[in-house]
Structure 1
Amino acid sequence: MNRLEQLALQARYNQWMNDKLYQAAARLPVAALQQDCGAFFGSLFGTLNHIVVADTLWLQRFGQHPAGFTALQPLQAIAAPTSLNGLLFDQLPALAARRQLLDEVIIRLCSELKDSDLDQPLAYHNTRGVAQRKNFHALLLHFFNHQTHHRGQATTLLCQLGEDVGVTDLIVLIDDIPEA
């Protein structure tokens, strides 16, 4: 499996897992979604919101890549979040709709990538305004790792709130290889 195939797999996993999380979250009462559980971002809703905030910031940064990915154009109309924990929406359906948009953009971005794009450096400013210049492939790996990290927290919070997300392992999406 080459780098592009790995990234496409991560994009599919991201979409699959987010769908599972949001379906489970939708079964909870609003009070449970908002309940402060002592997580990094307080509640389950705060955790799901943070993932959307961070994905938005990263995807908008990726829009500065010299390749000019057309998949990222829908994000030009979205204001950049100003805080990693600032709530973008106050209701789960609106947050879920943004999540679905982001997941579609991520899928399209990964299908648009060329291997040579991955070795390009990406210049951007972090949330503190500090200029950065890093390998684009490494940033994409960080992007997917960050999502997985916080989805693990969300899965734990859902479990604590009585909702089972079901199977979460990436291996479910890896195709079997028939014997030769």
Structure 2
Amino acid sequence: MSELSHLRLMAGYNTWMNQKLYDAAATLPPGELAADRGAFFGSLLGTLNHLVAADTIWLRRFTAHPARFDALEAALALAQPGALNAVYSDDLATLTRHRRMLDGVISAFAAELADRDLEHVLHYASTKGVASQKRFGDVLLHFFNHQTHHRGQASTLLSQAGADLGVTDLLMLIENVADRDAPPGSS
């Protein structure tokens, strides 16, 4: 699988998992969503808000790429989070709508990427002001890995609250080679 195909797979996984995460979160009472469970961002709601803040920060950084991706225009309209623990909303329905919008931007952005775009060196500053210069493809890998990391924490928080997220394996989105190689109409 090419690097570009892998990144597009991760964009699809991001959307799929966020839908599952938010659907499971919606089964919990508000008090459970906000309960401090000792996670890095405290609660499930804190973790979901962190993912929105971090994704927004990265998407806005990605707008500096010289390819000027059309899908990222929506990111420019978003307010820059003041911190990684910025709270977009304490209301799950509002946060869900925002998450879906971000996931749409991420998917459209991934579809626009070309192999040559991955070689660009992205210049940016961390939230602490530390300047970095990193290969764009590698930064995108971090972007998707960061999401997976915190969704793993969120799935644990959901489990602690009694909600079942179900299957979360990326493997569920990877095409079965036998299906791909089967003659048309044989399945």
Please give the range of the TM-score, normalised by the shorter of the 2 chains: over 0.9
Aligned to 1:161: 161
Aligned to 1:29: 29
Q: Please list every run of at least 4 consecutive aligned residues from structure 1 whose deviation after the TM superposition is greater than 6 angstroms.
A: none
CA distance in 2, matches of 1:110, 1:76: 17
How far is the alpha carbon of 1:130 from its aligned partner?
2.3
1:27 match: secondary structure: coil
Provide the identity percentage.
56
Amino acid at match of 2:16: W
Matched, 1:12 2:12: yes
- Unmatched runs of 5 consecutive residues or more in structure 1: none
CA distance in 2, matches of 1:147, 1:160: 20
- Unmatched runs of 5 consecutive residues or more in structure 2: 183-187
CA distance in 2, matches of 1:128, 1:2: 33
Which structure has the greater CA radius of gyration?
2
Aligned to 2:117: 117
How far is the alpha carbon of 1:4 from its aligned partner?
1.0
CA distance in 1, matches of 2:129, 2:79: 16
| Stretch of structure 1 that moved more, 170-179 or 98-107 | 170-179
How far is the alpha carbon of 1:75 from its aligned partner?
1.2
Q: Residues 33-91 of structure 1, C-alpha deviation per residue, up to 9 Å, x if partnerless? A: 00000000000000011011000000100111111111100111111000111211121
How far is the alpha carbon of 1:30 from its aligned partner?
0.3
Aligned to 1:85: 85
How far is the alpha carbon of 1:131 from its aligned partner?
2.0
| Stretch of structure 1 that moved more, 155-164 or 86-95 | 86-95
Superposition map of 1:23-172 within 5 A: 23-172=23-172
